[in-house]
Structure 1
Amino acid sequence: MNTTSTHDTKRSEDVRARINVLSELDNTWLSRLHRWSRWNRPYQKVLKGRSVPDPSEESLLYQTMLGAWPLEPGEEAAFVERLVGFMLKALREAKTHTSWISPDLEYESAVESFIRNSVIPHGKSRFMEDFMELQKAVAFYGYHNALSQTLLKMTSPGVPDFYHGTELWDFSLVDPDNRRPVDFEKRVRLLEELKDREPAGLDELLKDLVGNRQDGRIKLFMIRKTLNFRNSHRELFARGEYIPLEGAGRRREHVIAFARRWRKQWAVVAVPRLVARLLQKQKPLLPKERWPALQIILPSECPEKWRNIFTNGTVLPKRLASSQWVLPINTMLDKFPVVLLDGAEQ
């Protein structure tokens, strides 16, 4: 079973997809971490000669804020309460300064006070303004990570598992936060709208989804298209071979690709990685000029014609002088953030 979020996940799949971006922004993250800690020092309390929260707890707080900050401004006030609950549970489970068996209520109260005094939505403090600047960048790159992660889950060997609510963006924290009611009526309505709009104009729909990625419909669209493809190619995904594919050309380290094969059925999956390093500016798609001549090397016995499941476009591989077949990836990622190809039979 391929699982990315469960009832016991400390931070949901889309939260982690954002936080992972920090590994690409290490210098930026470290400088901000030190700066924020210095600015928020007046809100710390000293207990038994120790500043509260300690450096590890403060770092955990800022990382979680970057990963879970809500998309809608109207949810920000409630987020502070969710953040307090997350941190208090994390403190007890870490068992460093407090625990479930022997809780230190004074220490926990000091951490809660630190959060409430420093994390003020719409606040004009140096910290909040600086935080929101980085959070917007992390959220943007995290959206690419989240789509890539979800497509890999659905197409890798195994059975994809979806925790309720993750059909759209889900920025839940540890339980009971990740057990809040899910608006299934909204998801059904959005799904029906996608189904109705696609036949009328796929290109316009894709532009709408990419341009309004913050509403989560792009994730729902990708899940629907991929699961429908799995359903119509059951043997391919249940019994098919997994074939890792290598990239060719510049930026090849920025793509993960593999093929699935069962008899005459083929599929190719390609997703970007380390997007923050790749893009100089925050753009909703990966422009082909940033992927010069990026190609994926295919097995020699592959089909001669492919269909892009998300864009419905036809993709034709090229044969190199070395007799290798290659697929141009740069032009496909220019239209949708991830790639799933159906290999038509010969």
Structure 2
Amino acid sequence: MSRPVTGTYRLQLHEGFAFADAQRLVPRLTELGVSHLYLSPILQAAPGSEHGYDVVDHTRVSDQLGGLDGFESLAAAAHEHGLGLVVDVVPNHMAFVAPEHLNAPLWRVLKEGRDAPTAHWFDIDWKAAGGRLAVPILGAPLAEVLDSGEITRDEVAGEPVIRYHEHVFPLALGSEGVDELADLLARQHYVLAHWREKASWLNYRRFFEVDELIGVRVEEPDVFDATHAVLLELHHRGLIDGFRIDHPDGLSDPTGYLDQLAAACRPGTPIWVEKILEGTERLPADWACAGTTGYDALRVVQAALVDPASTPVLQQTWVATGGEPDYEEAVTEAKRHVVTTGLGPEVERLTRRAREALPELDPERLREGVVELLVAGEVYRAYLRPGESLTDRDRGRLEAATRTAQEARPDLAAELDALHETAACSTSASDDQIHVLHGQEGAARSSFEAAADFAIRLQQTWGPVMAKGIEDTTFYRWHRLVALNEVGSDPSVLADAGPHLMHDWAAHAQAHWPATMTALSTHDTKRSEDVRARILAAAGDPDTWRSLSEVTARAADDAGIDRPTAHLVWQTLLGVGEVSDQRLADYLTKAMREGKEHTAWVDGDADHEAEVIAFATEVNRSGPVRDALDHAQRDLTSDIRALTLSAKLLQLALVGVPDTYQGCAGLDRSLVDPDNRRPVDFDARLDDLADLDASEAHPASSLHLEKLHLTATTLRLRRERPELFGKEATYEPLPTDTEHATGFVRSGQVAVAVTRAPSRLRRAGGWTGEGVTLSPGRWVDRLTGRAHDGGSVRCADLFADSPVALLVREDPSRLSGARTSGTEEADEGASDERG
């Protein structure tokens, strides 16, 4: 398609919402104003998959979604209505689930071992587990499972197999005649082990801690071709217009992968990467992509709206719960917990490589050094590449991690220096050096190969440590202001928050990544944008925040619930609003287990979980906490409105391509997955849009309708005038003389103005003489129809009908005919006809 990408709408596909369901929505999503549908993975996934990231077969489009015919029909309908399609790609891993024969390449490896023609597909450490693929799935040690009779012989499609409940495994050639099961298993190319022994057995790279997702070596040309053939064919047929890349940091060489994918696509094809950037970290300039999927934009939009004046109260109330005062300390503790418990197989594999590269050093001290380097990483990865010199960026990342590790363990200084040199030198070896080493036999070659593997694998493992240590542990422990506990965000950025962070980010994005995505909600966010807006509204009112914290703490003390958890409970109840007991229980169960303090996914404390859920359910129904929540929601109504609309307008009009997650065009108060993947009543929501279009009234009576109106209006403007927002556009901060208004100007023709710190503004008595400055000309607010002349515009006038404004400067030459009529009505009519 030739249509520029001006806005995407994310749809989560699964058996209950397949291609045909998406196709039915096409005409109505076109009316919303998006240019492209953005689909979760479409290839054949594991049975019952709710997300599609567990691919078992790259050779076909998912049968559960409607197969190739269903996808072709969806694409045809989308194109008929002027929409393109963006599809999610999963290059990093495949499903390793029952029944195992569904994953044909992996089945060959299970059957034939390291000599299988597909053995190089998967990132397996064949030097471990006796040269076999370890499969730690048993509920008890192997001997016990054999004694219990849980392992049996069976057949699948006429082929003899070993069965363990729903799991099936092939037999190695020539082993079929072995009678004893123990002897039969000993002759296979895999080893079945107790799941509790995975730290010492598991020898394949996983996706984070998920044993059921096995790492794929997409850097191998034939593996790339085989895993991308169907998607690229659909792309070259014109059915797929762009790609979203899931977790490229897990690959051995993300830069090389993106180069390869871009070369395989039509020129100019947009490719977005799921990349978490920490703090001021920037996307690598040499990545062949359009930008990220938007978490960096989410971070700065929220930072622009946080009121730093509330920092003392937020800190005081959190410390009063007994929670860890320092965020960085909480992160370090959580990362260390994850590295030493959940990521044991990854630590062992790195240690094996370190021992081979540094045989003169003590193995146990090397293991401790590996742990410290993993904990010390400050970003999801560096980008060291074999045969290339270290960039200043990557050298700095590696040196910083080493310094931090040595500060934590000065007694390991020598080992950490050696590990640093191993990682740095192995990747910067020249092609000639590599050729010489590969021509050698014995220790020198083995040592070099081990060092190179260590260097790449260290980077690949930083990502899981960051994700599991921060997003999936710290964010469920550190509850000072949970609205900031978001993917890609920094909960410690509070006192220093402000619009300047957004302006800095946008200036860089316009110069380097003008087509990057912007997002507020995704399938991975911990809380939807509207849940976060409600919590931020309370954070801006110190008295309300203190009152809610104190009344909940008293209730928690009476119920025997720890105060930090109670601090999460009341923020959750305020943010989500009306919620069923089941949704609340499901969320809190996940939150407590992810936090890993009082319970866990494995060997958890069911009694503790039940007590917290009972407490939350009770205080949500009645009593002092419920009364305080109701009072807060009434007092914060206007603040919630301001922050909800402000965040959405900033995201939609910011530099980049705005993505709208399913259901979030209007209000959506969802919590972390699977809550945010619940069925969406698209018909009701899109009926609301049709009603809005048919009405001439401003939809201020309902925040849902007001947000829906804002979303559609902004998306339609971007689709109507793409040149004002694209590659050649400009971005400038909106001049204002008050901290309570912020915004920006795009290409000198569109001005976005929003209200920030609304609670403090309300308590101060509202707008007085504050204003913003617009360039000369006549500006019309697309949201309200109000017109303003350029120059200084009072905020009281600008925000008379709404806490946000989307102003478009009219072209005098296009209005000359209307203005000669001498009537304001004719002028307004000309504007309406163009809009």
TM, length-normalised to structure 2: 0.34
Shift of 1:330: 2.2
* Equivalent residue number for residue 323 of structure 1: none
Cα distance in 2, alignment partners of residues 307 and 109 from structure 1: 55
* Equivalent residue number for residue 48 of structure 1: none
Structure 1: gaps (5+ residues): 45-51, 71-75, 199-204, 282-288, 319-325
Q: Deviations over 1:147-176 (max 9, x none)?
A: 000000011101111111112211111111
Pick one of 528, 535, 540 that aligns with 1:24. 540
Q: Deviations over 1:72-128 (max 9, x none)?
A: xxxx5x2x22111111101111111122233222221221222233332xx3x2332
Q: Secondary structure at the match of 1:98?
A: coil
Aligned 1:132-281 pairs, distance under 5 A: 132-198=630-696, 205-206=697-698, 209-210=699-700, 212-214=701-703, 216-239=704-727, 240-248=729-737, 252-261=738-747, 266-280=749-763
Cα distance in 2, alignment partners of residues 28 and 197 from structure 1: 37
Shift of 1:272: 0.3
> Is the counterpart of residue 345 in structure 1 residue 781 in structure 2?
no
Cα distance in 2, alignment partners of residues 16 and 100 from structure 1: 26
Which structure's CA Rg is the greater one?
2
* Equivalent residue number for residue 770 of structure 2: 294
Distance 1:292-1:118 versus aligned 2 partners, 3 A rule: closer
* Equivalent residue number for residue 284 of structure 1: none
The answer to whether the 8 Å contact 2:532/2:575 transfers is: yes
Cα distance in 2, alignment partners of residues 21 and 242 from structure 1: 28
Distance 1:84-1:139 versus aligned 2 partners, 3 A rule: farther
Q: Secondary structure at the match of 2:796?
A: coil
Q: Deviations over 1:194-231 (max 9, x none)?
A: 11113xxxxxx11xx21x224x1111111111111111
Cα distance in 2, alignment partners of residues 116 and 180 from structure 1: 21
Q: Deviations over 1:276-323 (max 9, x none)?
A: 111149xxxxxxx8322322234xxx44221221122321123xxxxx
Structure 2: gaps (5+ residues): 1-516, 813-835
Cα distance in 1, alignment partners of residues 797 and 549 from structure 2: 38
Cα distance in 2, alignment partners of residues 55 and 41 from structure 1: 7
> Is the counterpart of residue 84 in structure 1 residue 567 in structure 2?
no
Cα distance in 2, alignment partners of residues 304 and 186 from structure 1: 40
Cα distance in 1, alignment partners of residues 631 and 644 from structure 2: 20
Distance 1:38-1:290 versus aligned 2 partners, 3 A rule: closer
Cα distance in 2, alignment partners of residues 131 and 188 from structure 1: 31
The answer to whether the 8 Å contact 1:291/1:330 transfers is: yes
The answer to whether the 8 Å contact 2:725/2:746 transfers is: yes
Cα distance in 1, alignment partners of residues 602 and 533 from structure 2: 33
The answer to whether the 8 Å contact 1:148/1:338 transfers is: yes
Q: Secondary structure at the match of 1:96?
A: coil
Distance 1:307-1:106 versus aligned 2 partners, 3 A rule: same
> Is the counterpart of residue 67 in structure 1 residue 575 in structure 2?
yes
The answer to whether the 8 Å contact 2:780/2:786 transfers is: yes
The answer to whether the 8 Å contact 2:538/2:632 transfers is: no
The answer to whether the 8 Å contact 2:528/2:670 transfers is: yes
* Equivalent residue number for residue 801 of structure 2: 335
- Greater CA deviation, 222-231 or 107-116? 107-116
Cα distance in 1, alignment partners of residues 717 and 570 from structure 2: 39
Cα distance in 2, alignment partners of residues 327 and 129 from structure 1: 41
The answer to whether the 8 Å contact 2:734/2:773 transfers is: yes
Cα distance in 2, alignment partners of residues 336 and 219 from structure 1: 11
Q: Secondary structure at the match of 2:527?
A: coil
Distance 1:232-1:303 versus aligned 2 partners, 3 A rule: farther
Cα distance in 1, alignment partners of residues 590 and 637 from structure 2: 25
Cα distance in 1, alignment partners of residues 575 and 632 from structure 2: 11
Q: Deviations over 1:4-55 (max 9, x none)?
A: 11111111100000111232222331233122321343322xxxxxxx3x21
Equivalent pairs counted in the alignment come to: 295
Q: Secondary structure at the match of 2:751?
A: strand
* Equivalent residue number for residue 340 of structure 2: none
Cα distance in 1, alignment partners of residues 770 and 741 from structure 2: 9
Cα distance in 1, alignment partners of residues 741 and 630 from structure 2: 29
Cα distance in 2, alignment partners of residues 19 and 345 from structure 1: 41
Cα distance in 1, alignment partners of residues 586 and 637 from structure 2: 22
Q: Which amino acid aligns with 2:583?
A: R
Cα RMSD for the two superposed structures? 1.9
Q: Which amino acid aligns with 1:335?
A: D
Relative contact order, CA 8 A, sep 6+: which one is greater? 1
Distance 1:109-1:309 versus aligned 2 partners, 3 A rule: same
Identity %: 34
Shift of 1:142: 1.5
Cα distance in 2, alignment partners of residues 97 and 40 from structure 1: 15
Cα distance in 1, alignment partners of residues 677 and 662 from structure 2: 9
Q: Which amino acid aligns with 1:157?
A: V
Distance 1:39-1:106 versus aligned 2 partners, 3 A rule: closer
Cα distance in 2, alignment partners of residues 104 and 266 from structure 1: 58
Cα distance in 2, alignment partners of residues 113 and 295 from structure 1: 49
Q: Secondary structure at the match of 1:181?
A: coil
> Is the counterpart of residue 109 in structure 1 residue 109 in structure 2?
no
